[in-house]
């Protein structure tokens, strides 16, 4: 067994099928990355959901049947073209559950990832069988700065990301890469960022990310949650908060519910790990616009700081107001 296969072995836990959403602007290299995932030696089979049949392009020698909603390819993957509702597609896939280990959803280059992410909030059957593991956004180092200036979709794709693959880094110099990474961080300070050439990244940097587990993300980038006070040039910004005192669960639910009701249209993503008073388990919270979800994800680890960490990514965010609201949720 290779190191990659060992690292990607199914983990004990919820038994849900992990879903990776692969997004990125036109020409960023999504299909190249998908190719890499599907042909690598990881010992797994993936079902692939794509927005447009013409974008598949996985391998020149693949034989596919465009008349079929679901079909198997010669490398062991199952592909679906999204001609209908994603919920229906996922339901169809789950009937073939034994044929694959995970699902990859590739969006079109102009897609906003929000509707895909929301699918895992709104449908109980989908939530009961799958879990959104990560939104992976591929970024074109050659063109990203101009694209961000011209396209709100590109900004949204970076804002939603749990993992960002900065692709085509061989085509720009180190100074340009530093400027790009700074721009990306001004939009999304908590996503894991990896450089790549022709989509060649370690599969352990893309798969099994546990993207909504903020504590796991912090293991890779502990400083990203520092609540800095500098302003951002982007319309979309990320703001993060840390609370050392335990939270009152009822107060937090009331506050976050009212906040999302009022500002949900501007809040692209919110996620955090919460320390509720009187509870020995960590609570994982996540939201996409006005839709929120959360659940306990296991006990606090020995020696782990029992503190609440919360991140907002969105537009028109008021840092002092969010801080005051979060602090009002302290347990008495």
Of 67-71, 123-127, 155-159, 307-311, the range with the lowest mean pLDDT is 67-71
Percent of the chain at pLDDT exceeding 70: 77
Token digits of residue 100: 């694959």
| Residues whose CB is less than 8 angstroms from the CB of residue 230 and which lie 6 or more positions away in sequence, other chains included | none
Phi, psi of 152 (to 5 degrees): -65, -25
Supply the DSSP string of 142-191, one letter for each residue: TTHHHHHHH-HHHHHHHHH-SEEEEE-GGGS-HHHHHHHHHHHHHH-SSS
How many Å is the Cα radius of gyration of the chain?
20
Each residue's pLDDT tens digit, 199-253 = 888 888 888 877 655 555 555 455 545 544 333 345 788 888 999 999 999 999 9
| Euclidean distance between CA atoms 271 and 119, whole angstroms | 17
pLDDT score at 274: 93
- DSSP secondary-structure letter at 301? P
| Euclidean distance between CA atoms 308 and 288, whole angstroms | 19
pLDDT score at 141: 92
> pTM to 2 decimals?
0.70
Token digits of residue 29: 């290299």
pLDDT score at 239: 87
Supply the DSSP string of 14-65, one letter for each residue: --PEEEEEEEE-TTSSHHHHHHHHHHSSSS--EEEEES-GGG--S-TT----
- DSSP secondary-structure letter at 300? P
pLDDT score at 150: 84
More confident residue, 12 or 178: 178
pLDDT score at 272: 87
Residue 66's pLDDT band (cuts 50, 70, 90) = very low
Can you say whether the dihedral through the CA atoms of 92, 93, 94, 96 is positive or negative?
A: positive
Residue 171's pLDDT band (cuts 50, 70, 90) = very high
Mean pLDDT along residues 155-175:
91
Residue 319, SS3 per DSSP: helix
Each residue's pLDDT tens digit, 38-58 = 887 777 788 888 764 333 333
| Euclidean distance between CA atoms 168 and 110, whole angstroms | 19
| Euclidean distance between CA atoms 91 and 88, whole angstroms | 5
Does 69 have pLDDT greater than 70? no
């Amino acid at each position: 067994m290779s190191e990659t296969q060992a690292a990607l072995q199914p983990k004990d836990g919820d038994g849900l099928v992990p879903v990776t959403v692969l997004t990125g602007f036109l020409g960023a290299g999504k299909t190249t990355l998908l190719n890499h995932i599907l042909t690598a030696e990881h010992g797994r089979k993936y079902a692939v959901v794509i927005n447009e049949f013409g974008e598949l392009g996985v391998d020149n020698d693949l034989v596919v049947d465009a008349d079929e909603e679901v079909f198997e390819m010669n490398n062991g993957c199952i592909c679906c073209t999204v001609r209908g509702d994603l919920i229906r597609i996922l339901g169809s896939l789950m009937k073939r559950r034994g044929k694959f280990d995970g699902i990859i959803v590739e969006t079109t280059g102009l897609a906003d990832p929000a509707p895909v992410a929301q699918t895992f909030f709104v449908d109980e059957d989908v939530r009961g069988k799958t879990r959104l593991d990560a939104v992976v956004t591929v970024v074109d180092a050659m063109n990203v700065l101009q694209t961000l200036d011209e396209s709100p979709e590109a900004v949204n794709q970076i804002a939603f990301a749990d993992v960002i693959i900065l692709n085509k880094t061989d085509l720009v110099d180190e100074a340009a890469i530093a400027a790009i990474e700074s721009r990306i961080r001004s939009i999304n300070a908590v996503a894991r960022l990896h450089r790549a050439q022709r989509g060649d990244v370690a599969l352990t940097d893309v798969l099994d990310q546990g993207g909504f587990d903020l504590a796991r993300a912090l293991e890779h980038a502990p400083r990203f949650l520092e609540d800095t006070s500098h302003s951002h040039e982007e319309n979309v910004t990320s703001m993060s908060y840390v609370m050392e005192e335990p939270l009152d669960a009822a107060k937090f639910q009331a506050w976050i519910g009212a906040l999302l009701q009022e500002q949900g249209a501007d809040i692209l993503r919110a996620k955090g790990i919460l320390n509720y008073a009187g509870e020995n388990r960590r609570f994982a919270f996540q939201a996409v616009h006005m839709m929120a979800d959360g659940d306990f994800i296991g006990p606090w680890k020995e020696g782990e700081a029992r503190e609440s960490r919360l991140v907002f990514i969105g537009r028109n965010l008021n840092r002092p107001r969010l801080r005051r609201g979060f602090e009002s949720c302290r347990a008495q």
